[in-house]
Amino acid sequence: MTRVVLVTGLGGAGRTTVAAATAVAEARAGRRTLLLAADGTADADTVLGLPLGLDPAEVEPGLYAARVAVREEFEREFLLVQEQLGGILALFGVDPLDPEEIAAVPGATDALALRVLARHVRAADDAAAFDLVVVDMPPAEQAVLALALPETLARYLDRLLPVERQAARGLAPILAVAAGVPMPDEWVYATARRVIAELDAVRAVLDGPGTSVRFVTRPGRVAAAADRRAASALALYGRPVGDVVVNGLAEGGTLAHDRAAALRALFPDAETAAVAVGEDEPLGADALAGFAETLPRLVDPSAAAGDAVGDRGGSVSAGAEREGAAEPEAGFEVEADGDRLVLLVPLPGAERGELDLLRRGDELIVTVGAYRRMLPLPSALRRCTIEGAGLRGGVLRVRFVPDPAVWMRR
């Protein structure tokens, strides 16, 4: 299985340097490693001291690097859809766009970067090419939304194109013969099926037991406030943080006690390392290898799978299981409390004033500040009503009581 480390954090905290140093160190330790520059900049080129292309290029033995080229990816996707629409465009006298006329739309970067990541991981799994893929992600505020994108898009597609409606595509060939052009239903469903398959592949990578986040921050009160928002957002979407790097301490300085305590509270399962700023910025593989000695060693997240409350693998207590509850699709834990069932949603750093909770059908909609997630409820909780909720110790506890009208239904 290919290990994936997503490096994100605060803007200007040195995410690219940490990502590149992580990749260099792991490669020199004997792991075939790919550094994937997915933050939309050319910073990785500068840090490594060489231009990166679309295909992985060997930087030194065991270390490869590539970048996500958004324009080329978007052009490829657009031309594929345009080809499927060819008959309809001709019917209305619309000339297709040439490749040089195509420009990526805002927001496409993150979705395309995740698709490129999934392709590299699948190729690595098939050919055993890489043991580790280190991804240089955008700042946390943008990266969190990017990591939530596959789940969100899959949900929207499921609502807009439910399975029952796909039977309509059987009529498309007959209608196409009568009209003389491809029918929209056919390419809509074909495109939807392809997109859903790609989203599933991305989610398999992001939700895999070998994927974790390396969070990079910096000293200061402004950074501390940003850390709090990032911690609750990452937890909301179930993204485990393996370790935290505080980058930018003064030479010989130490991390303030209250800052260290706050980071431990926000990222209780992560190792924290404080890194001092040297006179020279680490550029090139040798300098990066030296810088990596100050970073935490990577810990395999699969070793602790199921132990943490917020783990994607979540668990259901014995009491809930006896009542027929299934494991929550969102990966959070459910426990029994007498006649009640309690859904535990870890939200370290969240504050009551920025929390909102709404039950809609079989989903629980949780909003934390600017972030929102729709949590599909397991079968037992779908047959319950919400009695109340409370935030304590960085965990949102939502209490459910059986609804007598539906509890015994299966």
Please write the tens of the pLDDT for every residue from 70-94.
Answer: 555 555 555 555 555 455 444 445 4
Asked if residue 214 lies in contact with residue 5, where contact means CB atoms within 8 angstroms, the answer is yes
What's residue 208's pLDDT?
A: 85
Q: What pLDDT, in 10s, does the model give residues 192-229?
A: 666 677 778 888 888 888 889 999 998 888 899 999 99
**End-to-end Cα, the chain, rounded Å:** 37
> Mean pLDDT over all residues of the chain?
76
pLDDT classification of 108: cutoffs 50, 70, 90:
low
Our CA dihedral for 5, 10, 11, 16, rounded to 10 degrees, sits at -30
* 318-402, CATH topology level: Immunoglobulin-like (2.60.40)
Which CATH superfamily hosts domain 3-304? P-loop containing nucleotide triphosphate hydrolases (3.40.50.300)
More confident residue, 175 or 150: 150
Strands 57-60, 395-402: pairing kind: unpaired
- Which whole number is the average pLDDT over 327-343? 76
DSSP letter (8 states) at residue 98: P
Percentage of the chain exceeding pLDDT 70: 68
Q: What is the pLDDT of residue 71?
A: 55
Backbone phi and psi for residue 298, each to the nearest 5 degrees, phi listed first: -65, 135
241-249, strands of its sheet edge to edge: 57-60, 63-67, 33-37, 132-136, 3-9, 211-217, 241-249, 271-276
Mean pLDDT check: name the lowest of 23-37, 64-78, 315-329.
315-329
Q: Which amino acid is at 300?
A: D
Q: What per-residue confidence (pLDDT) applies to 267? A: 92
Name the pTM for this structure: 0.78
pLDDT range class, residue 330, cuts 50, 70, 90: low
Q: Which residue has the higher pLDDT, 186 or 338?
A: 338
Other Cβ atoms closer than 10 A to 360: 8
Is pLDDT of 57 > 50? Answer: yes
Query: Cα separation of 47 and 287, whole Å?
Result: 10
| Top-confidence residue, 39 or 18 | 18
Residue predicted with more confidence, 176 or 355:
355
Q: Is residue 218 within 8 Å of residue 246, measured between CB atoms? A: yes
Q: Judge contact between 150 and 53, C-beta under 8 A.
A: no
Provide the pLDDT for residue 179. 47
* Closest listed residue to residue 218, CA positions, set 44, 10, 39: 10
Q: Is the pLDDT of residue 186 over 70?
A: no
> In this predicted model, which residue has the larger pLDDT, 82 or 136?
136
Asked whether the beta carbons of 315 and 45 are under 8 A apart, the reply is no
pLDDT band at 327 (very low <50, low <70, confident <90, very high): very low
Can you tell me the mean pLDDT for 357-382?
A: 89
For the chain, the domains span 3-304, 318-402
Reference 20, options 30, 9, 4, 34; nearest CA is: 34
Query: Which amino acid appears at position 204 of this protein?
Result: A
Of the ranges 78-87, 113-122, 202-211, 292-301, which is most confident? 202-211
Block residue for tokens 């970048």: 67
Residue 12 vs residue 109, higher pLDDT: 12
pLDDT band at residue 151 using 50, 70 and 90 as cut-offs:
confident
**CA gap 334, 378 in Å, rounded:** 9
pLDDT at 35 over 90: yes
> Quick one: pLDDT at residue 202?
82
Token code pair at residue 64: 């490869």
316 burial type by CB count under 10 A (0-12 exposed, 13-18 middle, 19+ buried): buried
Q: What is the mean pLDDT of residues 363-392?
A: 89
| Residue-level pLDDT at 77 | 57
Greater pLDDT, 383 or 306: 383
> Averaging pLDDT over each range in 1-5, 67-71, 351-355, which range is the top one?
351-355
* Greatest Cα pair distance in the chain: 79
